[in-house]
Amino acid sequence: MNIGFMDRRIIVQTQSTQVDAYGARDGNWSNLHTVWAAMDNKSASGGVTAEQETSTNRVTWRVRYSTDMAAVTTANRILYGNKPYNILAVVEHGRKNELHFVTEKVES
């Protein structure tokens, strides 16, 4: 693993659901971990969904293995800059060497 490629600062976020006085659920994202990562662009595509143009960008983020990062699941998301990426899969690479987060960013 060449840590020189890990030049992007990402934030792993978790969603917390709260119920207001009227019983409505409000889902807020809160920061869980901030780590250095390498970004590998995998694919990009565009199309029309529900009569609206969308673009999808699939990115794999590579981070150092830690017990905190190993606890990240597809229920979390990654924030890079101000852009959220939904986590599709978490893959351990090597024997507790790296974690790869396969993510997708959808913009409309």
Domain 7-18+26-107 fold is Thrombin, subunit H (2.40.10)
Average pLDDT over residues 81-87: 93
For residue 19, the one-letter residue type is V
The domain spans of the chain are 7-18+26-107
Buried b / exposed e over 6-30, threshold 16 CB at 10 Å, is beeebbbbeeeeeeeeeeeeeeeee
pLDDT at 108 over 90: no
Three-class secondary structure of residue 85 per DSSP: strand
Please give the Cα distance from 87 to 45 (Å, whole number): 17
- Residues, the chain, total? 108
56 vs 76: which has the higher pLDDT: 76
For residue 13, the one-letter residue type is Q
pTM confidence score: 0.79
Of 2, 77, 8, 73, the C-alpha closest to 41 is: 8
